[in-house]
Structure 1
């Protein structure tokens, strides 16, 4: 008999995306009575509850919906989900993902063949994007090359219990999946790649300059570095690149020249800073869209990203007591 599987989907105030995900999940090739879907809202969310409770299907799949008492991040939502589940194998995806019809079966087949009580699996993620894509789409497309992401993975209950699940100190969707991967590796729990376990991760439309808000996530690089310094050195560059510091330096020198009325310093520093901003924007525009709005966005955000990146890394260094700047 096919093993019983629990699918955990964290969400928060995105009912339209969630319904598309649920529609893909109930139309799996896997026996409908051999898996359950557990939706976990990251805090009070009446709209999501209404959407799930009114979701109609003639399938035999059981859908549960839970909620955290307050917003605590997707890691906490996933923990509530798998700890409330019934299965020995837990499969994770996100509310903005569309699992392919063979997704659950692909994980199940590997789990059944290996017969291991302590194991994890990572699937394949496809990110459709425009031609040419925007800079934001390019960033999301990095998910296609990621070794392990919680948007498309499966872990046995025994393995999750051994590593105590996800670290809820990661209160945003950033680095919690790397932390999970590294904890599994430290315990010697093998992670199997399952290329047939495929999800599509559409890139949703975002507001102009959204990348500036994304820099806040950088604070959790310090936490990851504190917990797993050896793996961070091997696999992830968690510090801002050197040219961010150079851009900030010349910006500060320009202001110093203005305040001290040192005109040569002012002009020189301004020219170097502007040149570095334009070079940064030019690099980000390589192989991306060249519409006037996108070009303007790249120039504007390229001037601000270094400051925000260094600030949030410094903030994380202080908050988590781990030097990451």
Structure 2
């Protein structure tokens, strides 16, 4: 699918918004609505929509917004990502096509405030390399475990859902590492590389982006265990910073639970009743402890409690498996 651009003079563009999308049409439509109504003059910025799952529906949606904003701006670009997929690859395709010297990153499920770009540019002094705005997470009144996880992300040091960066700096860093297939690891890797480079990372609390929380499906915590593969890569690249910012120690409770479960199964096969009982009780105690931790401060519906109980049995072995898989895949001593 071809890229599309209106005939705005490239010399007038000072900032480029990079917006990856993955086929969530309603969310993309909402985000484009806010991005095309910024207080910044329309001729001074562009929006680059990178379609990571190229389809005609997204193309037509962007074309519709281009038609509506042609007379006032901003410049609107559609790029179909037909190569490697993922948040890092989509962002790289977007910023490398940008005309602005300043890049503004956000996501399709975000809702930038109308003054987002203006506030970001106002805070972007000559000595600033990267600027992080304020991310307002709209969490439900009764939190689930996923809500707690997202709430912790609100305090993260670096998040590309609301981030401004000099294009020249990303060129120097050669962009995002496309081996990371999840946004959180992609963000952490870039943050750690910026720290190693000594980049000046500033804060702009008035550059606001709202991020409404989407309900997580049943069993979503099991899918999240796959992220441990990329923890291994992140640890290999930045061992000290990983221990300082991500995890000070391995999840020994997971390893103990898996060890107790394997011991119980092995002793059962060997016909050792007392040993099986002892190891089984140890596994049960560790699993119950994990359940209590995950239920603390969350909604207590029957469906959610059942979800936590079932997934607490499966999370430790899955997490250990993916951690070991990551260690083998990236050839790093990671536990």
Normalised TM-score (structure 1): 0.94
* Aligned residues: CA RMSD: 1.8
> Is the 8 Å Cα contact of residues 12 and 43 (structure 1) preserved in structure 2?
yes
Partner residue, 1:315: 325
Alpha carbons 1:127, 1:143 under 8 Å: kept: no
Is the counterpart of residue 200 in structure 1 residue 178 in structure 2?
A: no
User: The residue matched to 2:68 in structure 1 has which SS?
Assistant: coil
Partner of 1:103: 116
Matched with 1:219 is: 229
Aligned ranges for residues 273-284 of structure 1 at < 5 Å?
A: 273-284=283-294
> What do the CA deviations read for 1:232-274 (whole angstroms, capped 9, x no partner)?
1222217641110111011111101210111111122222212
Relative to structure 1, the CA distance from residue 60 to residue 119 in structure 2 (aligned partners, 3 Å threshold; closer, same or farther) is: same
Contact 2:162/2:209 (<8 A) preserved: yes
CA distance in 2, matches of 1:137, 1:7: 27
Does residue 128 (structure 1) correspond to residue 141 (structure 2)? The answer is no
Check if 1:33 corresponds to 2:40.
no
Q: How far off is 1:46 after superposition?
A: 2.8
Alignment of 1:269-308 (within 5 A): 269-308=279-318
Alignment of 1:21 with 2:34, yes or no, is no
Given the superposition, is the C-alpha separation of residues 239 and 10 from structure 1 closer, same or farther in structure 2, using an over 3 Å criterion? farther
Counterpart CA distance in 2 for 1:47 and 1:218 is 34
**Aligned twin of 1:66:** 79
Which of 86, 90, 93 matches 1:80? Answer: 93
Partner of 1:253: 263
Could you say what secondary structure the match of 1:189 adopts? Answer: coil
SS in 2 for 1:194: strand
Tell me, which stretches of 5 or more residues in structure 1 are unaligned? none
The yes-or-no answer on 1:145 pairing with 2:159 is: no
C-alpha displacement of 1:44: 2.6
Greater CA drift, 227-236 or 6-15 = 227-236
Alignment partner, residue 9 of structure 2:
none
Aligned residue pair count = 322
Q: Using the alignment, how far apart are the partners of 2:333 and 2:20 within structure 1?
A: 31
Which secondary structure state, in structure 2, belongs to the residue aligned with residue 175 of structure 1?
helix
Q: How far apart, in 2, do the equivalents of 1:233 and 1:208 lie?
A: 31
Counterparts of 1:54 and 1:258, CA distance in 2: 65
Q: Residues of 2 paired with 1:315 and 1:207: CA distance?
A: 25
Task: Give the Cα–Cα distance (whole angstroms) in 2 for the partners of residues 107 and 149 of structure 1.
Answer: 15
CA contact (8 A) 1:122 1:194 kept: yes
CA distance in 1 between counterparts of 2:221 and 2:26 reads: 23
Can you list the C-alpha shifts for 1:179-212, whole angstroms capped at 9, x where unaligned?
1111112122111011111111111123201111
Q: How many angstroms apart in 2 are the aligned matches of 1:217 and 1:200? A: 25
Structure 2: how far apart are the matches of 1:37 and 1:88? 14
Q: Distance in 1 between matches of 2:20 and 2:250?
A: 29
Tell me the equivalent position of 1:209. 219
Aligned residue for 2:19, secondary structure, equals strand
